[in-house]
Amino acid sequence: MINWYVVYTRHGAEKLAEGHLTRQGFKTYLPLCRKTTRHARRVAHASKPLFPRYLFVAIDVSRQRWRSINGTFGVSCLVSMGNQPQALPNGVVDELKAREAGRGLIEISPETRFKAGETVRLTGGALIDQVGLFQKLGEKDRVSVLLDMLGRKLEVQVPLQSVCAYT
């Protein structure tokens, strides 16, 4: 019976391990997500492993030579309990695959630590040190903040990184 198992890889070697396991005849799955990095006013998007240093491999332990996985380039070890690899619960990989969007990437909604109506302070940009009320999480890592400026309420869109809790 074929089940999905977890492979722990060497740092940054998920794709290398996946390629070598595939060449050995194993069916693999490396879930990817889109990561955004910002540096010196540049924004870069790249597909990165959803679970750094981990990938999944489908194995029939009664028929396949699964012990060779531990000696594969890029692999640290097959996650095991004692001498036997530990199978994932049924449906875990299928659930991950079902969450894939365009280009096979799993969309992760950014988490925000703020609730609607919470008082926040802006830490960057032209409105630095202004205090307002958090409204909602917008698109592309931006948030809406309601500011009280010039005697009226003004809703502004700012990067999530430029907002902190008001203390």
- For residue 114, being part of any structural domain is answered with no
- For residue 112, being part of any structural domain is answered with no
Residue 66: give the domain boundaries. 3-106
pLDDT in tens, 23-66: 999 999 999 988 777 677 777 778 899 999 999 999 999 999 99
pLDDT of 69 reads: 95
Residue 139 CA to residue 144 CA, distance in Å, equals 10
Asked if the model's pLDDT at residue 139 lies above 80, the reply is no
- For residue 113, being part of any structural domain is answered with no
Question: Are 139 and 99 found together in one domain?
Answer: no
pLDDT in tens, 147-166: 988 788 888 888 888 888 88
Question: Are 95 and 124 found together in one domain?
Answer: no
- Closest residue by Cα to residue 72 from 12, 7, 6: 7
pLDDT of 38 reads: 67
Q: Which amino acid makes up residue 60?
A: D
Report pTM: 0.66
- For residue 111, being part of any structural domain is answered with no
pLDDT in tens, 64-113: 999 999 999 999 999 999 889 999 999 999 999 988 887 788 877 666 67
- For residue 11, being part of any structural domain is answered with yes
Question: Are 35 and 93 found together in one domain?
Answer: yes
CATH of the domain at 126: 2.30.30.30
Mention every residue, 6+ apart, whose C-beta is less than 8 A from residue 29. 4, 55, 56, 57, 58, 93, 96, 97
Question: Are 47 and 98 found together in one domain?
Answer: yes
Both tokens of 1, joined, read 């019976």
- Confidence band (pLDDT; 50, 70, 90) for 19? very high
Question: Are 48 and 130 found together in one domain?
Answer: no
pLDDT of 112 reads: 66
pLDDT of 167 reads: 76
Both tokens of 154, joined, read 């003004």
pLDDT in tens, 115-137: 888 999 988 888 888 899 999 88
pLDDT of 57 reads: 97
- Closest residue by Cα to residue 19 from 63, 75, 58, 64: 75
CATH of the domain at 75: 3.30.70.940
